Amino acid sequence: MIQDTIVDALGKHMDALQTIFDSIIVLAVAIAWAGVSRQSEIEALGIKFQRRYAFFVASGLYLVANIAVFILFFRISNLFTLLDHSHVVPGFSVLATHSWVLNPFSFFGGGLMPRLISAWGIGLLIFLWWVCGASLLTFEDKAHAFAAKVIRGSFQVVGLLSIWAVCTVMQGFIIRGENIGLIGEEFRSTMFDRLAGALLGFGAGALAVKAIKRGYERWTDERG
């Protein structure tokens, strides 16, 4: 009974991650649009605040969300280690087949296309993390320069911790692969693809932030 509860908890943690990222994306779009359109009052996720507070409110929400994501990934890692031999396969199945588009643990088979689809989750996750953070650029100014550096540094630290937590879950898949059988071996074979996807997401995200920053600066210069 306890083992079944753990398997169920894995699914609920994945549901929570999906909900958080859906909210982050909505917040990022609202914040970015408010910054570009120079709205005096901003509303996002049912919260209203003045533009002069937008940078700190949005940064606070992003930071809380990032910490929550790290905690959830870390919990998943620990929950998976609590599974006994007979429940490793159900636990793996819950994580690998969850419908979340950004699922970094997704696995759909050992063929070329299934491997690519399985690997893009972690890449998209990292890419969207960069892009969502870029929405704050529309509110940065000289008055926020130091705070922006501290906040960006905090995002990067928590983001790296989240990636570490994801890696510990995958390590658990590999270590307990003997309990998963042939599927475990096929999952192991996708690790290079996942690494490539993560690096691609990281690089594309960094380039996207630079492009967004340059585009916004040029746009504001033209508008005066």
pLDDT digits (tens, 9 = 90+) for 151-181: 777 877 888 888 888 888 888 887 776 666 6
Range of 72's domain? 2-223
Q: Which residue has the higher pLDDT, 92 or 186?
A: 92
Q: What does the pLDDT read at residue 37?
A: 66
Q: pTM, whole model, 2 decimals? A: 0.84
Q: How many domains does the chain have?
A: 1
- Please write down the long-range contacts of 118-122, taking CB distance under 8 Å and 24 or more positions apart: 118/190, 118/193, 118/194, 119/190, 119/193, 119/194, 119/196, 119/197, 120/197, 121/197, 122/166, 122/194, 122/197, 122/198, 122/201
pLDDT band at 143 (very low <50, low <70, confident <90, very high): low
Percent of the chain scored above 90 by pLDDT?
Answer: 17
- Looking at residues 48-52, what average pLDDT do you find? 71
- Looking at residues 185-197, what average pLDDT do you find? 84
Q: What does the pLDDT read at residue 39?
A: 66
Query: Given a cut of 70, is residue 195 above it in pLDDT?
Result: yes
Query: Given a cut of 80, is residue 36 above it in pLDDT?
Result: no
Q: Which residue has the higher pLDDT, 93 or 136?
A: 93
Q: Beta-carbon neighbour count of residue 139 at 10 Å?
A: 22
Q: Quick: pLDDT tens for 61-97.
A: 888 888 999 999 999 999 998 998 888 889 988 998 9
Query: Given a cut of 70, is residue 40 above it in pLDDT?
Result: no
Residue type at position 94? V
Q: Which residue has the higher pLDDT, 180 or 130?
A: 130
Tokens of 127: 């890419």
